[in-house]
Amino acid sequence: MPEANSRGSDTEGRERAGAERLPSPALRNPLLYPEAHGEGRCQVHRARRRHQHPPVLRHRSLLHPPRRKSPAASAEHPAAPPKLAGRGRAGKAPEPISFTCHKSSGAFGGEGLTWRCAPQDAGAAVSSAVLPGLGRVFRVEAVLAAPVGWLHRELFEELEQMPRWNPSLSRVEVLQRLGEDTLVTHEVTATSPVGRRDFVSVRHRRRTQAAVYLVGTAARLEWLPAQEGCVRAETRLSCIALQPLAGDPGCTRVTWLLSVDLKGWIPAAVTDRVLPRCQADFIGHLRRHLSATAQP
């Protein structure tokens, strides 16, 4: 009995000493000393589970973020050029129209460019220069005894009648009218030294107080393949500026910039001879049409 009492007293003494070394109830960890904070066993278990198992990211965007294309992959697979809607549906004019206006506006004055002159023919001055992003561009300049309004009507509003006075074209058809100032056209050339070509183009006009600009570039229509016996060529740039002649509003200064990819196996030397010849012939046909037509 004395030994039992001594052991019990020793145990009580150790418990009292351990209690004295414990921190105050306000500073105790609720996970280790729930009795100091009045929490039950269930609350302690839930707190321990939350503490030991942090929340799992289950959202797909966090677990698997979207992959980004590398610059090399974007360069290998560039964005496809804009396509126009099918026949009879209202489409949107492709973006190259605004690019054409911007590039050609600085080329009329020849600022920063070296234009190589060619022999004048049919009362027209022909020259060429190399533009960044377009290659060789041909320019023809002439003064016609007709007001800007008459030429504007013949070259844009009555475009389908052009084969009547221009024998280098066999057919011109307006496929779509995108508003009042934009047309989608299909032109087929007559037989020439480089063969027959057909073009699908977007034409746009811009009227200002100083001039009227008629610009065009190639378009792509999947439902209109190349015509039989023709090669589908592309107009990289076509821009005609009609400016009233200073001191004589009855005359017009015509400036035409042209860059065409004729496609097919045609050497560049042949293209450099054919395109200026076509521009000079166009000015000659327009003069004869002007002489045969009674102007208001």
Task: Average the pLDDT over each of 25-34, 143-152, 233-242 and give the range with the smallest value.
Answer: 25-34
Of all residues in the chain, the percent with pLDDT exceeding 70 is 59
Nearest to 51 by CA among 25, 31, 32: 31
Distance CA 260, CA 13 (A): 106
Average pLDDT value for residue range 216-230: 87
Give the per-residue pLDDT at 211.
95
Give the per-residue pLDDT at 185.
95
Nearest to 275 by CA among 289, 254, 250, 258: 258
Given a cut of 80, whether residue 238 has pLDDT beyond it is: yes
Q: Which amino acid is at 142?
A: A
Give the per-residue pLDDT at 52.
52
Give whole-number Cα distances, 108 to 77, 125, 126, in Å: 35, 13, 13
DSSP tag of 153 = I
Most confident stretch, 51-55, 117-121, 124-128, 230-234? 230-234
Given a cut of 90, whether residue 59 has pLDDT beyond it is: no
For residue 224, report the phi and psi dihedrals to the nearest 5 degrees. -125, 90
Give the per-residue pLDDT at 192.
85
Give the per-residue pLDDT at 197.
92
Give the per-residue pLDDT at 237.
92
Average pLDDT value for residue range 121-131: 81
Domains annotated for the chain, with CATH where assigned, are 2-52 (no CATH), 96-292 (3.30.530.20)
Distance CA 18, CA 12 (A): 10
Per residue in 85-95, pLDDT (tens digit) is 444 333 444 33
Give the per-residue pLDDT at 290.
92
Average pLDDT value for residue range 118-126: 70
Given a cut of 60, whether residue 83 has pLDDT beyond it is: no
Give the per-residue pLDDT at 239.
96
Task: Average the pLDDT over each of 15-24, 137-146, 194-203 and give the range with the smallest value.
Answer: 15-24
Q: What is the pTM of this model?
A: 0.63
Average pLDDT value for residue range 164-181: 94
Given a cut of 70, whether residue 5 has pLDDT beyond it is: no
Given a cut of 50, whether residue 261 has pLDDT beyond it is: yes
For residue 161, report the phi and psi dihedrals to the nearest 5 degrees. -90, 0
